[in-house]
């Protein structure tokens, strides 16, 4: 399982939102490129980038920073936020992004995702950001009537490389991931699922190992890395060693299910 640090870009800065609320943002670094390098140095095998300005405006707004990060790093970078047409996706892939993540477009233009999967095999992922089981779009500012599981099944049929699943009510809250929703999603599709939202401790990350056999192949960590609740080095080491004995008793079998 990959332990994937997240960098959310807003106005060229590294920030975190609380439950997707742009009015509740906290800046953690004025230098996202240096932050990206730090996560690579600490053992990240992949970096997750979100262009928050892009998600809101419908087009990438932090391209200069994104390109600087891809030039600096040797690990794969995946990017979401404002990728809603073929030209934009082709441009970000050309500048060094290894995997483009589409969200709003998957709901509003599913045929575009199908086309892109055929043109860029293995490089298209879909981000499903759910609020009470329904998919949110346009930087989480709108909630559709599309159910997360239904969209995931459609996108899996199109051949996406992965589904990045975020429970908006958990994102930025340090309340732990929604394992029940992750299990339901992973059981419904045959492509890898990457968990995002709510990671608060190394135990939360280790708890996802019980879902790995179902296809949950990665955990994206954001706020907890910046607050120090999770050490990236420790999380990478713990997952690599499969240190189940280090999971506290309060994360018993029911919690890990």
Give me the active site residues, please: 8, 129
Contact 127, 138 (CB under 8 A): no
Contact 16, 43 (CB under 8 A): no
Ranges of H-type helices in 46-109: 52-57, 63-72, 86-94, 104-108
Token readout for 19 is 């439950």
Contact 78, 89 (CB under 8 A): no
Distance (Å, rounded) from C-alpha 206 to C-alpha 212? Answer: 10
**Strand 2-10 versus strand 47-51 pairing type:** parallel
Ranges of H-type helices in 73-178: 86-94, 104-108, 110-119, 148-158
Q: Is 9 left (phi over 0), alpha (psi -120 to 50) or beta?
A: beta
């Amino acid at each position: 399982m990959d332990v994937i640090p997240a960098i959310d870009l807003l106005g060229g800065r590294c920030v975190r939102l609380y439950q997707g609320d742009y009015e509740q943002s906290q800046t953690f670094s004025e230098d996202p490129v240096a932050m990206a390098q730090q996560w690579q140095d600490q053992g990240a095998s992949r970096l997750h980038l979100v262009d928050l300005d892009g998600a809101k405006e419908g087009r990438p707004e932090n391209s200069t920073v994104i390109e600087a990060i891809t030039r600096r790093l040797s690990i794969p970078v995946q990017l979401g936020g404002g990728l809603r047409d073929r030209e934009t996706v082709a441009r970000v892939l050309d500048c060094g992004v290894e995997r483009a993540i589409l969200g709003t477009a998957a709901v509003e233009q599913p045929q575009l995702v199908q086309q892109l999967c055929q043109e860029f095999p293995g490089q298209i992922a879909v981000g499903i950001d759910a609020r009470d089981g329904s998919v949110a779009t346009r930087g989480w500012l709108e909630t559709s009537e599309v159910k997360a599981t239904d969209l995931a099944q459609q996108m899996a049929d199109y051949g996406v490389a992965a589904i990045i699943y975020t429970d908006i009510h958990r994102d930025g809250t340090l309340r732990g991931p929604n394992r029940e929703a992750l299990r339901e999603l992973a059981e419904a599709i045959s492509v890898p699922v990457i968990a995002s939202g709510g990671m608060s401790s190394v135990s939360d990350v280790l708890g996802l190992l019980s879902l790995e056999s179902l296809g949950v192949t990665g955990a994206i960590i954001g706020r907890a890395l910046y607050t120090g609740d999770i050490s990236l080095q420790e999380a990478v080491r713990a997952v690599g060693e499969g240190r189940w004995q280090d999971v506290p008793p309060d994360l018993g079998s029911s919690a890990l299910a």
